[in-house]
Amino acid sequence: MILPGHSFISHAVLAPFSELAEAVHAFGSKIFVQLSGGMGRVGSSMGSQISIVKGLQPLSDTQLLGPEVICRELKTEEVEYMVESFGKARRSAEWLEWMESKFMASMREC
């Protein structure tokens, strides 16, 4: 699962994906990657059970969601940024493929 638009999704994180895809394809199977919008409110609503964002205020579409969680309301431009990031996830992967092909070419030259 990848969260588009987050800074920790680096090329180093994406790098093993093409190797994985190649291995899966070798068995004649297909492989999809999951792009997530993240947890929003439920990232902290269950307290200790699933609190992966402990200490951070969750983001959601409205501020008051349920009795115990106060979220920060996402701004329209933040949602637009997320939508754009879903489209860009492909682009960063294409850049990665280009880098890999360059790398392979330079390996052949050695």
3 state DSSP class of 99: helix
Q: Is 46 in the site for another protein (CB under 8 A)?
A: yes
**4 close to 35: Cβ distance less than 8 angstroms:** yes
Here the tokens at position 61 are 């579409």
Nearer to another protein by C-beta: 32 or 109? 32
Count residues near another protein (CB under 8 A).
45
3 state DSSP class of 70: strand
Q: Is 12 in the site for another protein (CB under 8 A)?
A: no
Q: Is 40 in the site for another protein (CB under 8 A)?
A: yes
Sign of the C-alpha dihedral computed for residues 50, 52, 54 and 60 taken in this order: negative
Q: Is 25 in the site for another protein (CB under 8 A)?
A: yes
**37 close to 43: Cβ distance less than 8 angstroms:** no
Nearer to another protein by C-beta: 50 or 55? 50
Using CB under 8 A as the criterion, which residues of the chain lie in contact with another protein when the complex forms? 1, 14, 17-18, 21-22, 25, 30-42, 45-46, 50, 59-62, 65-68, 79, 82-84, 86-91, 93-94, 96-97
